Chains A and B, each alone.
Chain A
Amino acid sequence: MAYSGLSVLAHAAAGNRHWPSAFPAPDLRPSYDIVIIGGGGHGLATAHYLAANHGITNVAVIEAGWVGGGNTARNTTIVRSDYLLNASFGLKNFALGLWADLSRDLNFNLMYEPRGYVDLAHSDGELEHFTLRANAMRLRGAGAAILTGAALQERVPQLDLTGGKRFPVAGALVQEAGGVVRHDAVAWGLARKASAAGIHIVQNCPATGFVIESGRLAAVETPLGRIACGQALISVAGASGAVAAMAGIELPLQAINVQACVTEPVKPALDVVVNYNAGLSYVSQTAKGEFVLGGATDGYVSHARRGSFARIEDALARAVQILPFLSRLRLMRHWSGTADIPMDGNAIVGRTPVEGLMINAGWGYAGFKATPATGWCLAELLATGRVPVLLAPFALDRFETGAEVDDAGIGPYPWLH
């Protein structure tokens, strides 16, 4: 059933009692062409584009929990492409283009709002570096501006730019095409569309093992039975290390806790996304009125999905520095998720040493914005067997060859990315 203004009115007239479920719960078949492990945004986007771009629908997406219950629904909904390195910029800027049309493609309102992303610099040196990044973006065809002083104040009147702060604001990189997308709608919309195309989405079905015959993937084991398949994709975010280990693959990444929180809802007060960079604190307001705040990772390896209060305090203290009115709001919810952060801080996407088994891991806490582009490119890889140009830099073997994609220039220390 297509969603439309008319369908909303018709169902409202009937007391909203007859909405059909957005996607069915099919029985798992014993074999598929492709099994996608992980029903998060990336896995579901891959399924959607396999059907939409390549006509491949003999596909199962198996999800250990439920659709919209993982990191796709735990991030701070920000999309942007303000990256310096070609590899990072290329994939995320392609995603930004796809976000713009995705609501229409999916017939599902993702509430994509390109309201502008404002990245604050706190010293002249940092602003120089931001200028380098903005120029690199412009050279590659993306819009970016460096704003300082009165121009920045005019763009974001809410910012407290008065002096005397521990980390004064020197200026900002502004990407007007950046913004927010409603995160759980992304999972639901992609699942609904892929399902309508005939792809099976099976929830409460974890992968428990792999059958590998002479170096080639033969089947995926699940509690609902063995699924024979030609190819499979591991796309399980925080569980990447554990699931890859079942196939005998060691990944150069570590699981680290990331936290975020929302305040009580208030009337519209901030129409941009603001990122404070002395430490880390990112702030935006949802359409519902809540302020969403996130900060840096907890730093240390954790599988507990239980955060340290120190990080929340950090993120809030920094947010209040630039937006003092936030101090009067109460926190309403707070949550943690496990981010899989690689040694160079960038994703691992592409082939594995096991023939037929692909990996999409290591997005850390930066994966949401890349969702449609990753799905698009992985669908192409699975359908054609060729690694798309945008994915090539993210190959697993880059760590052996020394071709790391280290945006921050930090080195093999996941907790610093």
Chain B
Amino acid sequence: MLVIPCPHCGPRDEGEFDHGGPVRTLPALDGAASAADWQRALHLPAADPGPMRQLWFHRSGCETWVEVTRDPSTHCISAARPAGAAGGGS
């Protein structure tokens, strides 16, 4: 069971959240990106086995998206911040 440190509500049980998947950096919608760029952004997850950035929606709390940095091998959460804050992905 994960305890997610919501930046607005404090530490809360994972059952209060909906999982939104890994943070993906998508190409701009200006037509410049190639099909291969989109294939990579949509289908190929980060190969790095280390900590990854994930989105969680705090459904039973502040009802905002939270970006959590979590190590999928240890379940250890090293950071949590409001999604879309400076340095965040899409």
Neighbouring B residues of A245 by C-beta, 8 Å: 47
Q: Would B43 and A399 count as touching, CB distance under 8 A?
A: yes
Partner of B72, one of A301, A309, A400, A413: A301
Closest B residue by C-beta to A297: B19
Contact check, A300 vs B19: say whether CB atoms are below 8 A apart.
Answer: yes
Chain B residue, CB-CB nearest to A303: B73
> Total A-B residue pairs with C-beta atoms closer than 8 Å?
56
Size of A's binding interface in residues, CB under 8 A: 26
Task: Let me know if B19 and A399 touch, CB within 8 A.
Answer: no
Q: Measured between C-beta atoms, what is the minimum distance from A337 to chain B in Å? A: 15
The one of A254, A302, A412 in contact with B42, judged by C-beta atoms closer than 8 angstroms, is A412
Does any Cβ of B come within 8 Å of A23's Cβ? no
1/0 contact string of A288-303 vs chain B (CB within 8 Å): 0000000000011111
Write the nearest CB–CB distance from B54 to chain A, whole angstroms.
Answer: 6
In the assembled complex, 12 residue pairs joining A and B whose CB atoms fall closer than 8 Å, in A order, are A252-B43, A253-B45, A300-B70, A301-B72, A303-B72, A304-B74, A306-B75, A308-B1, A310-B1, A310-B14, A412-B43, A415-B19
CB of B22 within 8 A of chain A? Answer: yes
What's the tally of chain B residues with a CB closer than 8 Å to chain A? 24
| Closest residue of B by beta carbon distance from A342 | B43
Q: With contacts A252-B44, A303-B49 known, is A400 near B36, CB below 8 A?
A: yes
B21, B39, B72: which contacts A399 (Cβ < 8 A)? B39
Chain B residue at smallest Cβ distance from A256: B72
Contact partners of B54 in chain A: CB under 8 A? 300-301
B70 proximity list for chain A (CB < 8 A): 300
Interface of B (DSSP majority class)? mixed
* Contact mask for chain A residues 217-252; partner B; CB cutoff 8 A; 1 contact, 0 none: 000000000000000000000000110010000111
> Which of B's residues lie within 8 Å of A, judged by CB?
1-2, 13-15, 19, 21-22, 35-36, 39, 42-45, 47, 49, 52, 54, 70, 72-75
When C-beta atoms are compared, the residue in chain B nearest to A305 turns out to be B73
A177 proximity list for chain B (CB < 8 A): none
Closest 7 A/B residue pairs (Cβ): A252-B43, A299-B19, A301-B72, A399-B43, A303-B73, A343-B43, A412-B42
Per a CB cutoff under 8 Å, which of B35, B36, B39, B72 touches A304?
B72
B49 to chain A, nearest CB (A): 7
Give chain B residues whose Cβ lies under 8 Å from the Cβ of A127: none
Kindly state whether residue A255 has any CB partner on chain B within 8 Å. Answer: yes
